[in-house]
Amino acid sequence: MANSGAKTRTRAAAQVVGANAPAKKKEINLKALALQQKKEAQKKSQQKAQQARDAAICEHARAMREAQGDDDDDDNTAGQDLEGLDGGNDLDGQRDSPVPPLDEEEQDDQDLDGPLDEDPDALLFQETFEGSGSDDEHCQAERHGNDEDKDNDAPGIVAGHNNNDNMEVDLPSNQIQVSSPPSTPSKKALNRLRACLVLGSSPAKSSRSRSSVSLDPLTPPSCRRGGKITEKHFTPRTHRLAILGKRMNCCATATQQPFPSDKHGYNMEILQDLAKDYKGEDDMVEVFARVLASVDTQQELVQFATRAVGFFTHCMAKAREWVATRFGLPGKMNSTEVKQLVGWLLKDGHYKYGKVDIHNKTCNNKLPFGCEGIAHILCLEVFATKGGANIEIFREIVNVRKIAPTTIALMITFIEHSLNEYVEGVYRHVEFSDTARPRYCFHLSSFNCIANKAPKWANNFATSLYKLILTQSNKEFLLDAEADDLTEVDMLLLLLTIEVLHLSHLHHHLALHLFTLENLEPEVSPVVVGVSRACSLRLSTRAAAKQAFNNALQHGDVEDFGLANAVTSDAVVTSSA
Give 358-411 pLDDT, tens digit per residue: 999 999 999 999 999 999 999 999 988 666 668 889 999 999 999 999 999 999
Instruction: Give the Cα separation of 49 and 87 in Å (integer).
Output: 11
CA quadruple 10, 12, 18, 20: dihedral positive or negative?
A: negative
Q: Which residues pair with 364 in a beta bridge?
A: 354
**Residue 133 parent element (H or E):** none
The angle at the Cα of 440, spanning 435 to 442, to the nearest 5 degrees, equals: 115
Question: What is the arithmetic mean of pLDDT over 308-318?
Answer: 84
Same structural domain, 71 and 164? yes
If you ran DSSP here, which 8-state letter would residue 363 be given? Answer: E
Identify residue 79 by its one-letter amino acid code.
G
Among 143-157, 418-432, 472-486, the range with the most confident prediction by mean pLDDT is: 418-432
Same structural domain, 253 and 395? yes
Same structural domain, 383 and 515? no
Same structural domain, 452 and 520? no
In a domain? residue 393: yes
Same structural domain, 121 and 236? no
Higher pLDDT, 482 or 175: 482
With 60 as the cut, is the pLDDT of residue 246 above it? yes
pLDDT recorded at residue 481 = 56
Same structural domain, 255 and 203? no
Last residue of a domain, one of 433, 464, 483: 483
Cis peptide bond prior to 101, omega within 30° of 0? no
In a domain? residue 548: yes
Question: What is the arithmetic mean of pLDDT over 416-437?
Answer: 94
The residue among 402, 416, 389, 400 whose CA lies nearest residue 253 is 389
Last residue of a domain, one of 456, 483, 510: 483
Tell me if 130 sits within 8 A of 184, measured CB to CB: no
In a domain? residue 139: yes
Range of the domain at 520: 491-576
For the chain, how far is it from start to end, CA to CA, in angstroms? 177
Give 326-356 pLDDT, tens digit per residue: 999 998 999 999 999 999 999 999 999 999 9
Give 68-77 pLDDT, tens digit per residue: 665 445 444 4
pLDDT recorded at residue 219 = 43
Q: Which of 138-152, 178-192, 441-455, 487-501 has the lowest mean pLDDT?
A: 138-152
Same structural domain, 200 and 261? no
Instruction: Give the Cα separation of 506 and 543 in Å (integer).
Output: 14
- Residue 46 sits at φ, ψ, to 5 deg, of -70, -40
Q: How many residues does the chain have?
A: 577
Give 521-539 pLDDT, tens digit per residue: 444 445 444 545 555 545 5
In a domain? residue 18: no
DSSP E strands, 263-336: none
The residue among 243, 197, 418 whose CA lies nearest residue 319 is 418
CA diameter of the chain: 189
Q: For all residues of the chain together, what is the average pLDDT?
A: 70
Same structural domain, 287 and 143? no
Last residue of a domain, one of 441, 456, 483: 483
In a domain? residue 310: yes
Same structural domain, 166 and 248? no
Supply the pTM of this predicted model.
Answer: 0.49
Tell me if 396 sits within 8 A of 251, measured CB to CB: yes
pLDDT recorded at residue 505 = 66
pLDDT recorded at residue 311 = 86
Tell me if 541 sits within 8 A of 567, measured CB to CB: yes
In a domain? residue 2: no
Question: What is the arithmetic mean of pLDDT over 193-198?
Answer: 56
In a domain? residue 21: no
Same structural domain, 36 and 163? yes
Same structural domain, 256 and 149? no
Same structural domain, 100 and 177? yes
In a domain? residue 247: yes
With 70 as the cut, is the pLDDT of residue 113 above it? no
Tell me if 47 sits within 8 A of 100, measured CB to CB: no
Tally the domains of the chain.
3
